[in-house]
């Protein structure tokens, strides 16, 4: 099946599950996702959009991956995040840096057996300060590594079949090295214990928690960076941030559609909501967010192929991630305001969108920190160019 036919079938299936189904609203109140529902979605093989054609995928074209994320987020933002985690934080780094035999096996199981992958970087004491992580690894014999530590807030906790785990090398004296290494762990081998599941405020579909790690990984399952592990991590994170507009696109379109439909039907004081200036202002802002997000999608689609190293694209990645996630939260807040009391319910699209979009401003780099890093990046470039005028 070609990608366009897949996308058509995918949109139809998601609409049946998340909009037309009588259980749709009830499911928003339940943590996790029913196995039968997940199977219906995964049987269409949406993650093939992230996998090169030589491994049975659609080709790993960035534009197609963003289209799949957009279709997902229009119906369910948590589902789109699940696809984004699998694609940008697991499958793409696997495609770029994993051993040939290892990635062939993983891609085969993802496509044909509906397997899922996730990423573990964050630790309880080291969130944004990830380079100081305490998870360690040391070599055992010639072909294995032993990895120990604690990770938390990894999306798909207790649910993923594969984990991409970060750790720092430990020397003979017990000190940790400065560089970061990535290891692929197959959960069939055991060694990851979920110590606690978190009661996340939104994104009920995705389980989050704290994991104790005590695993052994073959040498072949260690990712091979082009230079350093830190550079590889930057490539992974920047590439992921650059793809946020895919998730934002469908979500912002849904917020806009819901707002327009509500304003058409709602009359206050004998006149349509459309006649109120503040309502017009909110709707025009939502349209502007959608337009900017469209431009961001175009930028990523045309400039970020799978093989491009994005480790030096900090300004572009941080700006795109921070702005689009701020737009998502503002749009959901506007929809909630327009819907009024009817929207202030977790089973309302407005209430759910507000709590589901909020963490996007926090994870994969808190927006407050990203804005600071953007300022520093611009100042650094100005110093390099010996330019004191920002407008130049």
At the topology level of CATH, where does 231-385 sit?
Butyryl-CoA Dehydrogenase, subunit A; domain 3 (1.20.140)
In this predicted structure, the answer to whether residue 127 has a pLDDT above a threshold of 90 is no
pLDDT category at 24 given cuts 50, 70, 90 is confident
What's the pLDDT tens digit per position in 138-163?
Answer: 999 889 999 999 999 999 999 999 99
Domain 3-115 belongs in CATH node 1.10.540.10? yes
Q: Report pTM.
A: 0.96
pLDDT reported for residue 346? 92
What's the pLDDT tens digit per position in 58-99?
Answer: 999 999 999 999 999 999 999 999 999 999 999 999 999 999
In this predicted structure, the answer to whether residue 26 has a pLDDT above a threshold of 90 is no
3-state SS of the chain is: CCHHHHHHHHHHHHHHHHHHCCCHHHHCCCCCCCHHHHHHHHCCCHHHHHCCHHHCCCCCCHHHHHHHHHHHHHHCHHHHHHHHHHHHHHHHHHHHHCCHHHHHHHHHHHHHHCCCEEEECCECCECCCHHHCCCEEEEECCCEEEEEEEEECCCCCCCCCEEEEEEEEECCCCCECCCCEEEEEEHHHCCEEEEEECCCCCCCCCCCEEEEEEEEEEHHHECCCCCCHHHHHHHHHHHHHHCHHHHHHHHHHHHHHHHHHHHHHCEECCEEHHHCHHHHHHHHHHHHHHHHHHHHHHHHHHHCCCCCCCCCCHHHHHHHHHHHHHHHHHHHHHHHHHHHHHHCCCCCHHHHHHHHHHHHHCCCCCHHHHHHHHHHHHHHHHHHHCCCCCCC
Mean pLDDT of 92-114: 98
- Share above pLDDT 70 across residues of the chain, in percent, rounded to a whole number: 100
What's the pLDDT tens digit per position in 277-313?
Answer: 999 999 999 999 999 999 999 999 999 999 999 999 9
pLDDT reported for residue 383? 92
Domain 120-224 belongs in CATH node 1.20.910.10? no
pLDDT reported for residue 270? 87
In this predicted structure, the answer to whether residue 391 has a pLDDT above a threshold of 80 is no
- Domain extent listing, the chain: 3-115, 120-224, 231-385
What's the pLDDT tens digit per position in 241-286?
Answer: 999 999 999 999 999 999 999 999 999 988 999 999 999 999 999 9
């Amino acid at each position: 099946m070609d990608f366009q036919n897949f996308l058509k079938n995918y949109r139809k299936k998601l609409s049946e599950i998340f909009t037309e189904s009588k259980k749709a609203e009830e499911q928003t109140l339940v943590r996790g996702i029913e196995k039968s529902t997940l199977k219906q979605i995964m049987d269409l093989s949406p993650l093939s959009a992230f996998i090169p054609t030589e491994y049975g995928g659609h080709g790993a074209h960035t534009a197609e991956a963003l289209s799949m994320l957009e279709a997902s987020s229009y119906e369910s933002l948590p589902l789109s995040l699940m696809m984004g985690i699998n694609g940008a934080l697991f499958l793409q780094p696997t495609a770029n840096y994993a051993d040939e035999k290892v990635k062939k096996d993983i891609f085969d199981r993802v496509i044909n057996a509906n397997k899922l992958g996730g990423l573990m970087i964050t630790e309880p004491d080291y969130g944004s300060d990830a380079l100081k992580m305490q998870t360690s690894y040391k070599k055992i014999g010639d072909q294995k590594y032993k990895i120990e530590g604690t990770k938390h807030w990894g999306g798909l906790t207790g649910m993923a079949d594969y984990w991409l785990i970060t750790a720092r090398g430990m020397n003979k004296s017990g000190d940790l090295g400065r560089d970061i290494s990535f290891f692929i762990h197959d959960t069939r081998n055991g060694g990851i214990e979920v110590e606690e599941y978190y009661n996340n405020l939104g994104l009920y579909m995705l389980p989050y928690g704290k994991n104790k790690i005590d695993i052994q990984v073959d040498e072949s399952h260690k990712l091979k960076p082009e230079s350093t592990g830190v550079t590889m991590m930057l490539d992974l994170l920047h590439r992921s941030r650059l793809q946020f507009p895919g998730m934002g696109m469908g979500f912002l379109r849904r917020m806009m559609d819901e707002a327009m439909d509500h304003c058409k039907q709602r009359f206050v004081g004998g006149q349509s909501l459309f006649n109120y200036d503040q309502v017009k202002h909110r709707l025009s802002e939502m349209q502007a967010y959608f337009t900017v997000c469209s431009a961001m999608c175009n930028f990523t689609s045309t400039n970020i192929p799978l093989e491009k190293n994005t480790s030096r694209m900090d300004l572009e990645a941080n700006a795109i991630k921070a702005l689009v996630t701020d737009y998502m939260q503002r749009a959901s807040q506007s929809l909630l305001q327009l819907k009024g009391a009817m929207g202030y319910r977790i089973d309302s699209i407005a209430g759910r969108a507000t709590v589901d979009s909020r963490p996007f401003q926090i994870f994969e780099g808190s927006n407050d920190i990203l804005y600071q890093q953007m300022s520093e990046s611009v100042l650094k470039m100005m110093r390099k160019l010996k330019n004191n005028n920002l407008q130049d």
